[in-house]
Amino acid sequence: MGRCRDLLRGWPRVGALVLCVACGGDDGGTAVDAPSPDAFVSDCGFPGDVGNEVGVGRFCASLGDCTNPQAPLCSSLGDANTHFCTKTCSATGPADQCGTGAECTCNAGNQCGCTPSVCLGP
């Protein structure tokens, strides 16, 4: 698939098909070049991530994957490119409210959630 193959790496199969059609269709490759059906894009949160003692940082593909009642939300609800369990927090709350290796981060609307420290960069 040449040009399309390069664009498709990491896209789910349905998204890859739509993207390939949008970029001009098949340009000589074979179906073997398509990414696996469980491939996804993630800026933070990867299969095998276990999270901390309260569940923050555990890998999730959907809300149902966050089974720890202390961290029942999947970050992909707010950002489709992240896949970790989280919970709401308070910017003025205690430093340990998110558990080990996680921090309370807030957006411009002052909505705050626990984020694994490894996702926040250096």
Dihedral in degrees, nearest 10, Cα atoms 32, 2, 11, 45: 100
pLDDT tens-digit readout, 53-80: 999 999 999 999 999 999 999 999 988 9
Distance CA 82, CA 85 (A): 10
Closest CA to 54 of 82, 27, 87, 83: 87
Report the mean per-residue pLDDT for the chain. 77
pLDDT confidence band for 33 (50 / 70 / 90): low
Q: Model-level pTM?
A: 0.67
Based on the domain organization, do 67 and 27 belong to the same domain? Answer: no
67 and 19 belong to one structural domain? no
In a domain, 103, yes or no: yes
**Is 99 domain-assigned?**
yes
Rounded Cα gap, residues 56 and 47, in angstroms: 14
**Distance in angstroms (rounded) separating the CA atoms of residues 12 and 32:** 14
In a domain, 51, yes or no: no
For residue 24, pLDDT beyond 70: no
Q: How many domains does the chain have?
A: 2
CA distance 5 to 19: 10
Whether residues 67 and 115 share a domain: the answer is: yes
Q: Is the pLDDT of residue 46 over 60?
A: yes
Please check whether residue 38 lies inside any domain of the structure.
no
pLDDT attached to residue 56:
98
- Distance between CA atoms of residues 73 and 114, nearest Å: 10
Does any domain span residue 14? yes
Radius of gyration of the chain (CA): 18
**Is residue 48, in this structure, part of any structural domain at all?**
no
Say what the pLDDT of residue 34 is: 53
Answer yes or no: is 49 within a domain: no
- pLDDT attached to residue 39: 64
Domain containing residue 24: 2-33
113 and 68 both lie in a single domain: yes
- The number of beta carbons lying within 10 Å of the beta carbon of residue 21 is 11
**Least confident stretch, 31-45, 66-80, 85-99:** 31-45
Burial of 66 (0-12, 13-18, 19+ CB in 10 A): buried
